[in-house]
Amino acid sequence: MADMQGDKSHLVVIGASAGGIESLEALVGTIPSSFSAPIVIAQHLSPRRESALGEILARRSRCGSSPIGIYSNRA
């Protein structure tokens, strides 16, 4: 991965469809703890079920994971 130490102008955004959880796990597991850019992961999830995606990614990540919500009609 590119060295982004000290550069505050980068944001990494990753999107995945409903079947992309295994790929996200593999990808998150490769990110070093020294990676300094914020990472936003958008994953299609069912609105009818509770998701464990945050916990799944936190187990694989060396950087930590903080789930956030996305709501209709909000930026």
Beta strands in 1-75 (DSSP E): 12-16, 39-43
User: Pairing between strand 39-43 and 12-16?
Assistant: parallel
3-state SS class at 16: strand
The predicted model scores a pTM of: 0.71
Closest Cα partner for 12 from 45, 33, 41, 32? 41
d(CA 31, CA 3): 12
- pLDDT digits 0-9 by tens, 1-53: 555 555 567 899 999 988 888 999 999 999 999 998 999 998 888 878 888 88
What the block records as the tokens of 9 is 């102008």
pLDDT value of position 13: 94
